Amino acid sequence: MRAFLKLGNRFPNLHLLLAGCFETEDPLPVDTRKCLETHPRVIFAGPVQDIASYYAIADVVVLPSHREGLPTVILEAQAAGKPVVGASATGIVDVVVNGETGLLFPVGDVPGLAEALARLITDKDLASNLGRAGQEQVKRNFQPEQVWEALYREVLGVLRMKEPYTDKSSSLVRRSIG
């Protein structure tokens, strides 16, 4: 929200679209939430069923998360050909190569986020190139079959490393796959 407010005067047509819910476990500060709910250029969509239509209308997708597993939001946005901006958090840095498949900024760095957004707003060629590169990366590395195959190989590798287990009380011997 602070980055959005910082850019507001420079880009008077800028709008912020939020899809999803507010977290109850890690709530926003009260003043931030109030600003999000009352600002005339903030659109709060809440939980949505068809997220693809929201990606279609977005110019840039931002994930300013402080922590992340596999950032599905980033992958979905890239699959839709949208340029992405993400915090340099675990997970995000695994799918965004700064300057190649998106832009990164240090976690919690509001001026850094605002500058990354300003770059994409003013440099349409950069935004387009990042969107295409992200989309190619998803096609190349994140197709379901590829993910399933990689997961299968990982699980099989773990199972092969397991030692046989002996339950002395029942004389059962369990053997690992391999």
The confidence score (pLDDT) of residue 163 equals: 58
With tokens 């008077």, the residue in question is 12
Point out the residues of the chain with pLDDT beneath 50: 166, 169-178
- Residue 79 tokens, joined: 């699959």
44: exposed, middle or buried (Cβ count in 10 Å: 0-12, 13-18, 19+): middle
The confidence score (pLDDT) of residue 26 equals: 78
The confidence score (pLDDT) of residue 164 equals: 57
170 — alpha (psi -120 to 50), left (phi > 0) or beta? alpha
**3-state SS assignment for residue 158:** helix
Cα separation, 142 vs 148, whole angstroms: 10
The confidence score (pLDDT) of residue 158 equals: 86
Q: What's the CATH class of domain 2-142?
A: alpha beta
* Residue 173, strand partner residues: 166
The confidence score (pLDDT) of residue 23 equals: 82
The confidence score (pLDDT) of residue 92 equals: 96
